[in-house]
Chains A and B, each alone.
Chain A
């Protein structure tokens, strides 16, 4: 059973518009969530995180929203830039699970000029 799901395998957005990447989870015991970005031939790089006790965290063009009742989080990128084209993974962790992170399957974002 997949605990973290990204149901959209791909997303295409025009440069300058907003990109919204979605992630759903099933385990209400997760304590924090992270977003990673991955370019081809590179490892994932950490982008932004959010604690389960918050509903929003912002860092520049990137904002993550958490809706605990819906077990849903989203990453907003605004304005989107061609350099944002990559695969985005959401991940979830719990403090009582040590270092273990559960990853979604990723969404490939394409930002067109």
Chain B
């Protein structure tokens, strides 16, 4: 595997379900990110982990719970979501300290909440 991988690619869940999204980066980066992309809207930054510490939490509802067990893996635990949470969830990684913080993205998980 190379780059940034995400599983599952598609997820349909009910409002009472609990599920998790997984992200893995194979680039040796020291920062990882979760973004939400809704139709025709900018990518919304949800969480940033730098060296496995959460350094950003953009007022995300508590029904989204991130976990970063090591520098290569990032999870997003989902619990009692709402239909408006249906979106594309993107994971990214980068190497902080470089001139430009080029973030490398995974393919995303298309989430549908019924």
Cβ < 8 Å to A, chain B residues 51-100: 55-56, 90, 92, 94, 96, 99-100
Q: What are the residues of chain B within 8 A of A100 when measuring CB–CB? A: 45, 48, 56
Task: Flag if A43 contacts B48 (CB, 8 Å).
Answer: no
Known contacts A43-B4, A43-B105: does B42 contact A99 (CB below 8 Å)?
no
Number of residues on chain A facing chain B (CB within 8 A):
25
Q: Could you give, for residues 37-51 of chain A, a 1 whenever the CB lies within 8 Å of some chain B CB and a 0 otherwise? A: 000011111100101
Residue of B nearest to A4 (CB): B42
Q: Nearest chain A CB to B52's CB is how many angstroms away?
A: 13
Cβ < 8 Å to A, chain B residues 1-45: 4, 6, 31, 33, 40-43, 45
Q: What are the residues of chain A within 8 A of B96 when measuring CB–CB? A: 98-99
Q: Could you give, for residues 100-114 of chain B, a 1 whenever the CB lies within 8 Å of some chain A CB and a 0 otherwise? A: 111111111000000
A100 to B100, CA, bound (A): 11
The contact of A41 among B45, B50, B92, B107, by CB within 8 Å, is B107
The contact of B92 among A32, A43, A102, by CB within 8 Å, is A43
Q: Nearest chain A CB to B57's CB is how many angstroms away?
A: 12
Task: Flag if B107 contacts A51 (CB, 8 Å).
Answer: no
A49 to B102, CA, bound (A): 8
Residue of A nearest to B94 (CB): A99
A34 to B105, CA, bound (A): 14
